Structures are given as C-alpha cells and as structure tokens.
Amino acid sequence: MCSFIYKSYHHLLSGLRGFFNERSGVVAVIVALAMPVLVGSMGLAAEASYWYVHQRGMQNAADAAAIAAATNGTSSGYAAEAQAVAARFGFTNGSGNITVTATNPSTATGCTSSCYVVTVSDKVALFLSQVVGYAGNGKGTTTLAATSVAHNGPATPIASWHFPAMSLQTFSRTAGRRLI
C-alpha cells in the first residue's frame, strides 16, 4: 500500500515537473487561471469605491443641509430648507430610494435646543459583491447614510492666534469623526 502511494505521488510530481518544464503555452494557462481572480478583485474594488464616493457625496449634502437648516433660524421651514439644499447636491428627498430628514431635537449630543440634525440615506444596488456572498439589505441593495449636526449659536473663533479675522458657527458632523 505504501509503495502504491509513493509511486502515485512520484508520478504526479514528475507530471507536474514536465508541465512546468514545458514552456510553450504555459503563460496562456497561467493567465487563464489568474484572470477570473483579477477581474473579480477589480470589480469588487470598483464597487467599494462607488460606495465610498456616493457616501462622501451624501456627507457633503448632509453637511450643507445642516448648516442651511441652522442658519434658517427657528422658523418651521428648516426641514424644507435642508431638503432644498440636499437636492442641489443631487439628493432629492423621495427620488428613487433617497430620503432626507431634518430634525430639531432638544437632546442632540453636545447641543441645546438649537441643534439641527440632517440625515441623507440612499439604497444603492449591489453588483459583484453579491457573487462573493454579501447580501446587503437582502433585496439586492445596501443602505448608505450620512448624518450631520449643526448648532445655531454664537460664532466661535477658529484658531484666533493664526487667523484673527475668521469665525464660524459651531458645527459638527457625525460620520466617524465629531467636531464641536
């Protein structure tokens, strides 16, 4: 039994040596074996890049909409103002799967009653990521969201030791980092 395994193993190795010693057409075989992996990796990278760029666009829209809602003052039109500004960035509320919500909560972290929270969310289609098992929301989409918080309060100086003439209203954004 042991000699049979040894002979089979030796025969397999000699066949592989012969395959790798033969140089005609080997590149075509190696390229054919590597191509699906390369194309799949490039496709997944492109899809993840699309998600990142789309989320950054939503974050820009949420930041601008939160500032617009905060500068609108205490009127009841802050939500419409935030949605109008988000629409200028290409994220129209109710268009496709896009939702733009603006609230004036009294319990926002680090803020008083004059805080405005804007959330922009969108469901984007899955392409190649479904092939590797990512299900997203289970319906061929994944939800991306961006939230921004702006406070309508007195201006605070920014780096007054370096730029004495600059000031900005208190502003924060919540996408992994927080500025207040």
pLDDT at site 73: 65
Alpha helices in 72-151 (DSSP H): 78-88
pTM: 0.67
Distance, in Å, from the CA atom of 93 to the CA atom of 149, rounded to the nearest integer, reads 18
pLDDT at site 72: 79
pLDDT at site 155: 59
Taking Cα atoms as reference points, which of 121, 77, 123, 75 lies closest to residue 101? Answer: 121
Could you list the mean pLDDT of each consecutive 10-residue stretch along the chain, which spans 180 residues? 75 74 75 88 90 95 92 80 94 93 77 82 88 80 91 60 44 43
How many other CB atoms are there within 10 angstroms of residue 84's CB atom? 15
Q: Which two tokens stand for residue 104?
A: 């004036």
pLDDT at site 11: 77
Taking Cα atoms as reference points, which of 162, 160, 145, 161 lies closest to residue 54? Answer: 145
Residue 68, φ and ψ in degrees, nearest 5: -65, -40
All residues at 6 or more sequence positions from 40 whose CB lies less than 8 Å from its CB, including other chains: 128, 131, 132
Distance, in Å, from the CA atom of 166 to the CA atom of 22, rounded to the nearest integer, reads 72
pLDDT at site 109: 67
3: Cα separation from own chain's centroid: 58
pLDDT at site 43: 86
Q: Which residues pair with 146 in a beta bridge?
A: 120
The 3-state DSSP class for residue 93 equals coil
